[in-house]
Amino acid sequence: MHASVTRSRGRRTVTVILSILAVIALGIGGVIAWRLLAPAPSNWESLDATDKEMLTQLSEQYDITATHAAEIWTDAYRYEDQPLVLLRTDGEKSSFWSHAILVNMSGVTDTSGMAKIDVPGASHLDDVRISRTFAVGEWLLYAPSNFAVIDVSDRDVLAFKYNQAMLDTETTTSQGFQRFSLHENFHVTKQGLDPEAPGAWPWGAGGLIPDYPHTEAQYELLRVEARIFDRVETETDPQALAVLASDLATVRMARYTTWPTLKAEIDLEAIEGTATYVERAFDRARGLTPVQRTFTDGLEDLISDPEQQIVLERDYSYFTGAQLGLLLDRIAPDWKTQIEPAPTGSASTPFATLQRVTGVTTAPDDAELRAVVDRYLP
């Protein structure tokens, strides 16, 4: 009797699961059928307010990156010419999108059957197409996420989902459309090119740093770094900048020698930190200076809250990497070229460039380290 009841319950469970999966499949199938059959907007006038606002913000973004290319990254990187797929959704990380807007994609895939959108007043939006059927069978794009990297004609292309809330928060958060899309497309179109090539950027960097040392000794050195990073914003004297750079490299070598697991920060800063640098350089180029807390205050908040300490294990490198880039702008202006693989650069991470400029390649002894710490901590 017991075995019979168990089998009966097992069959009911399987039936329920299969029913749920069937409903999900029917729902996705219905969305795909609707997209294939429903007419797509065919010109600027037929777009709704959200689509028009997105393309307006994209046009503004391209105008700034075209005018300030060397400040945002380098003259050689023409962000406004990079391919991009934009998917219209109704909210953050939505699994469903109604249509795709393809930008700079005519040289990547066949767009001849797609309607061309002429954006009024746009100087750098010459190749804009709209489609309900493009990538309709790309299941990765139905994941609950804000973006995905898809293969189009053997080329990696960012498929970025946008919605009205993202457009409304553009000038207040890093999740705003212009900042967010710039950050992610920089990953794909600059850092992700030929990731298997010798000397390629550490494209796979990511994940939490394992066995992160949440200790007072580690926190003391992080506090020194925070004070150095805060001074980078305002210091202009070359000699003072050289001291800041040398002290930062010294503290870093002490941390990486004492806790080798922290070396993961080097690659995290090279990928996420430089993309955040680009994001902030873009803000400066458009005259926007979002209010940000000092590194010193922000770090204390993280250290004092056990639930927030996990930020140190990955996301903190976004900000330290961006600030390291700002320091390198002052002491090694070629760092953005040097980070690229040969023959353009030497595949040198930002930290490796810091070491090259300062000559700090080994850990300090206790007395040397204490002298640096005492310069910054009361």
| pLDDT value for 29 | 59
**Low pLDDT (below 70) residues in the chain:** 1-39, 291
Q: Is the CB of residue 209 less than 8 Å from the CB of residue 266? A: no
- Within 10 angstroms of residue 15's Cβ, the number of other Cβ atoms is 10
pTM of the model: 0.88
Going by C-alpha positions, the residue among 329, 230, 319 that lies closest to residue 272 is 319
| pLDDT value for 202 | 87
| pLDDT value for 174 | 83
| pLDDT value for 9 | 44
Q: Is 115 helix (H, G, I), strand (E, B) or coil?
A: strand
* DSSP secondary structure string for all residues of 303-337: HH-TTTGGGGGTTHHHHHHHHHHHHHHHH-TTHHH
| pLDDT value for 35 | 52
| pLDDT value for 292 | 75
| pLDDT value for 206 | 82
Angle at 22 between CA 18 and CA 24, to 5 degrees: 120
| pLDDT value for 175 | 87
| pLDDT value for 6 | 39
